[in-house]
Amino acid sequence: MDTRSQHPPSAHPPGLEPEIERELLRAYIDSANDGIFVVCDEMKFHVANPLMATWLGVSETELTAHGRRMPITELFGLAETGALFREHFRTVLEGRATRFEMEINPPRGEPRWVEISMNRVRLNSGELVIGILRDVTERRMLQATLQHHTSHDDLTGLVNRREFQQRLHALVSNAKPRRGSHVLVYIDLDQFKLVNDSCGHLAGDELLRQLGRHLKRLTKQCDVIARLGGDEFGLLLYDQSIEEGMRVAETLRAAMAGYRFAWNGRSFEVTASVGLCSIGNDTVSAEDALSAADAACYVAKDRGRNRVQAYSGGTACTGRRQEMQWVARLQKALDENRFQIWQQQILDLRRVPGEGAGHVEMLLRLIDEDGAIVAPDRFFPAAERYGLMPAIDRWVIQHLLLDGQGGHLQAEMARIPATHCAINLSGASLNDDTFMDFLEDALRRTMLAGDRLCFEITETVAVTHFGRTREVMHAIKRFGCQFALDDFGSGMSSFSYLKNLPVDYLKIDGALVRHIAEDAADFAMVEAINRVGAALGLKTIAEFVESEAALRRLREIGVDYAQGYAIHRPQPLFGESGSA
């Protein structure tokens, strides 16, 4: 370290007497804003300025008294600090300047963080070490505060997801030589949405704060409890078997089940579903462990909530885990535009054979990473469970109605003599205001006539969200569009709803149609649905028509349209290659 900028030169200026020079030097040392010390090679004080003495809580006279000079390391108060100082002091004695930071806790002074700069000087009387202490406590506290905000959740004060994943990565790496020595616990509140919806987000935030403190009290200091996001928490249990982890998880579940949250005179019961997995040398990665615990948590929810489920590798856990893995694949497919629109013709049974198709339904296929075509029944369950259906429906609307201002679809529709084009809407999209705003905007902008479009909503969605469904149907019908109830007949009690829903078509559930030629009960049910539809002025469409015999029976009943492999196998709308 070059100390020339920090200390007056040793040679006195021309015209100054040595005594005046010493007075000036002392005045400089005494007025410095940093602590200054000079020690011998035994680390005993020769000089300590007033600020240095104040920090240490010992007067300069005591520090430098002849014959009783105090070693500087006795005043740091922390063993590790003394060891660090001695290490750097040896470096200085070897002729290399040094600068480092450490915490001091003097027995008679205030604890503080200091930056120490030291250099060796040679005098006629021997070698000495000059040091400067700069107080960096405020900066270190600010750094600690920033670090805390980086690694902790602002709402609950618990470790955040980023920090939790880093510790999980470290734990998985360290667990490789061992087996089943740690446990990962995933906690998901069961009724958090009820509190948020009924009392507002302030209540929801307060609930999360209280539960964060509650969970912190119930866990050991050596374990890591984190808020992973929303109403989800994670826990790392160090050096515990899966059996011990199950006992801890059950204790947490029971404690939360006994917790009551009060807000503005209302009381809520709080329960949680808990999933856990062991971490050992067979754990592939941190992501693998988190996925397993999350999957187990979802199984706990599926089995009734308010329970604990360990990841066992069984059908339920692996099935849920595969769904979760689809989430990342679907998000990537959306980002990379790896979906295709396919079409399947719907036959108008009133037409003379050979006159062509009546309608077409637009279907969706995923192009996998290796180029294979993936049918929707493989990825729709995951998309529905994890809230991706609005994004997928948005992709379909964008490509059908807006890309090229409807040019692609209009060209295909001109080629196909279809009365209408059927497009499926999910229940999640139906209940998403932003999606419905997007759809209405697309209908205003598209060049495709509204009366050529028919939106399909499943019977289950329509019945479950009756009010919302009716509202959406009326809004979209203003553009001239039509509506069909898909999978109709899966719940016969839904007949009473038909009079109050502005639908145009009933698509008879394929489970009733598939065996209509040989099953009298199925035939009777399809016939009943067709009669109800006719009485209400609705057209009927039979799905999953897979044989000529089924087609004949549908004509006998008087069903209006038929759709299935016996009529047309799905194919890409825009001529893409591939097979489903």
Instruction: Give the separation between CA 553 and CA 534, rounded to whole angstroms.
Output: 17
Q: What is the pLDDT of residue 3?
A: 43
Sign of CA dihedral 22, 26, 32, 37: positive
Phi first, then psi, for residue 115 (nearest 5°) are: -100, 125
Q: Is the pTM of this model over 0.75?
A: no
What separation, in Å, do the N-terminal and C-terminal C-alpha atoms of the chain show? 73
Q: What is the pLDDT of residue 567?
A: 93
List the structure tokens of 106.
């003097």
In order of their start, the domains of the chain are 18-140 (3.30.450.20), 152-312 (3.30.70.270), 333-572 (3.20.20.450)
Indicate the SS3 state at residue 408. Answer: helix
Phi first, then psi, for residue 430 (nearest 5°) are: -60, -35
**Of the candidates 348, 303, 276, 320, which has an alpha carbon nearest to the alpha carbon of residue 539?**
348
Angle between helices 137-151 and 161-175 (to 10 degrees): 80
Q: What is the pLDDT of residue 197?
A: 83
For 57-192, strand residue ranges (E) read 98-104, 112-123, 126-135, 182-189
- In eight-state DSSP terms, residue 122 is E
Instruction: Give the separation between CA 131 and CA 529, rounded to whole angstroms.
Output: 94
Q: Give me the residue label for tokens 């099935």.
A: 319
Q: What is the pLDDT of residue 362?
A: 93
**Of the candidates 145, 123, 130, 163, which has an alpha carbon nearest to the alpha carbon of residue 46?**
130
Q: What is the pLDDT of residue 579?
A: 40
List the structure tokens of 20.
């005046």
Instruction: Give the separation between CA 294 and CA 313, rounded to whole angstroms.
Output: 13
Q: Tell me which amino acid residue 28 is.
A: Y
pLDDT in tens, the chain (580 residues): 444 444 444 555 555 576 777 777 788 888 889 999 999 988 999 889 999 999 988 888 888 887 778 888 888 877 888 889 999 999 999 999 999 999 988 888 889 999 999 999 988 777 899 999 999 999 998 888 888 788 888 899 999 999 999 999 988 887 554 555 799 999 999 888 888 888 888 999 999 999 999 999 988 888 999 999 889 999 999 988 899 999 999 999 998 888 889 998 888 888 999 999 988 887 888 888 888 898 888 888 888 889 999 987 655 556 666 666 788 889 999 999 999 999 999 999 987 655 555 689 999 999 998 889 999 988 888 888 878 999 999 999 998 888 754 455 556 655 655 568 999 999 999 999 999 999 999 999 888 878 889 999 998 888 888 899 999 999 999 999 999 999 888 665 557 788 889 999 999 999 999 999 999 999 999 999 999 999 999 999 999 999 999 999 999 999 999 999 999 999 998 655 444 4
- In eight-state DSSP terms, residue 71 is B
Would you say 317 and 299 are in contact if contact means Cβ atoms under 8 Å apart?
yes
**Of the candidates 104, 89, 92, which has an alpha carbon nearest to the alpha carbon of residue 140?**
104
Instruction: Give the separation between CA 97 and CA 121, rounded to whole angstroms.
Output: 10
Q: What is the pLDDT of residue 81?
A: 84
Q: What is the pLDDT of residue 24?
A: 79
List the structure tokens of 535.
């009485």
**Helices of type H across 303-346:** 315-335
77: left (phi over 0), alpha (psi -120 to 50) or beta: left
Long-range own/partner contacts, residues 113-120 (CB < 8 A, 24 or more apart): 113/137, 113/139, 113/140, 114/35, 114/55, 116/85, 116/88, 117/1, 117/3, 117/6, 118/1, 118/88, 118/89, 118/92, 119/1, 119/2, 119/3, 119/92, 120/92, 120/93, 120/95
Instruction: Give the separation between CA 409 and CA 435, rounded to whole angstroms.
Output: 21
**Of the candidates 245, 242, 243, which has an alpha carbon nearest to the alpha carbon of residue 219?**
245
Q: What is the pLDDT of residue 405?
A: 44
